[in-house]
Amino acid sequence: MFLSCRKGPDMPAIPNWALTLGVNFPPLTKLTWTGSDEAGYKAAFDLHDRLLVYFRNASGAQLGSEWVLPLEPSTLSADGRKASFSADGIIIPEGATQLFVYLDNDATPDYMTYGATPFVELANQGGSLQEAMGRQIIAGSLGLGDLQKTPEEIIGNVSLTYRTSLLKLELTFPEGSVPPAGTAITLKNEAKSFYNRIRLYWGEPFYVANRNTKGPIATVAGTPEGNTLHNWLCIWAGDDFAGSIIEVKDGETTWSATFEPKEAPQAGKLYRVRRTLSAWEPETGGGGITGGGYTEK
């Protein structure tokens, strides 16, 4: 399934190639939830995963159309970390020197929209781990000279890397004060220094103005576990969250806390953000959410 790569000649624009790409999934946070504790996280492909393939020339310009390669179920390894993706009828444009791939890693393509420059929506998230995983940006590239050509198909191996991180919010309220499911939770700052919508071009935010936006990331509270709300958010790694706050609006009551991470989030990592809330005292201005920073997992 995973063949050794070797240098080959430039490939002209010939229709109807069968293209097969073997992929090793990177470690850490392409997560599947299998339990309620930290040991329940695992990194694995799902059978509905797809690769989005784009070609470019030596100058970096995109050539031709996008192609979608479904996962081949029979190639999925026992641990779910290796698989092959393939499709027929692929046209490799003349002048192409490299292919670039994104992993479309959710059964419903609501979070990544395809096109000449695909985009991922981060501004409004449902708060579940499954949804946060579906919004992760995972990409890789391969030179065409590193593909192996046979009479029937073209074969290669691609290494994937993350461009995003995950936050796990753990917000603990006093007994009897836990907001119900559906309560609005927002991560924001006045500087609007982090992305909430990203149009991608070779794995990075598209360089043309107004194709990306920065601003709040909104989610909603799920069903509480005891006095604690658990929410997951997907964020663009390396963003500046200085001056950010977590805001929870329960009717006319607003809980808020600073979110001042000690370092920029690193791609492919999960960070646990724990906050403990106390009753708000309007006369003194006391209470709110306590705690700071985050714990990397």
The set of residues, in sequence order, having a beta carbon less than 8 Å from that of 36 and lying 6+ positions away, is 225
Q: Which of 2-11, 47-56, 61-70 has the lowest mean pLDDT?
A: 2-11
Average pLDDT for 171-194: 90
Here the tokens at position 213 are 């936006």
With tokens 């310009």, the residue in question is: 61
Judge contact between 139 and 101, C-beta under 8 A: yes
Q: Is residue 31 helix, strand or coil?
A: strand
Any idea which of 92-96, 167-171, 203-207, 210-214 has the lowest mean pLDDT? 203-207
pLDDT confidence of residue 87: 94
Q: For residue 4, what pLDDT is reported?
A: 31
Work out the percent of the chain whose per-residue pLDDT is above 90.
Answer: 31
Q: How far apart are CA 267 and CA 65, in angstroms?
A: 28
> What is the average per-residue pLDDT within 44-49?
86
Rounded mean pLDDT, 121-150: 90
Planar angle of CA 173, 129, 76, nearest 5 degrees: 155
Q: What is the mean pLDDT of residues 32-45?
A: 64
CB 71 within 8 A of CB 83: yes
CA distance 211 to 260: 27
3-class secondary-structure state, position 81: coil
- pLDDT at residue 101 in the model: 92
Compute the mean pLDDT over every residue in the chain, rounded to the nearest whole number.
Answer: 81
Could you tell me the pLDDT band of residue 209, with boundaries at 50, 70 and 90?
low
Mean per-residue pLDDT for 278-283?
53
Residues 187-211 have a mean pLDDT of 81
Residue 202's pLDDT is what? 74
Q: State the Cα–Cα distance between residues 261 and 238, nearest whole angstrom.
A: 11
Q: State the pLDDT at residue 28.
A: 59
Beta carbons of 217 and 186 less than 8 angstroms apart = yes
pLDDT at 41: 65
The whole-number pLDDT of residue 54 equals 92
- All structural domains of the chain, each given as residue ranges with its CATH number in brackets, are 17-115+136-163 (2.60.40), 165-296 (2.60.40.2630)
Q: For residue 183, what pLDDT band results from cuts at 50, 70 and 90?
A: very high
Task: Give the β-pairing of 62-70 and 50-56.
Answer: antiparallel
pTM for this one? 0.83
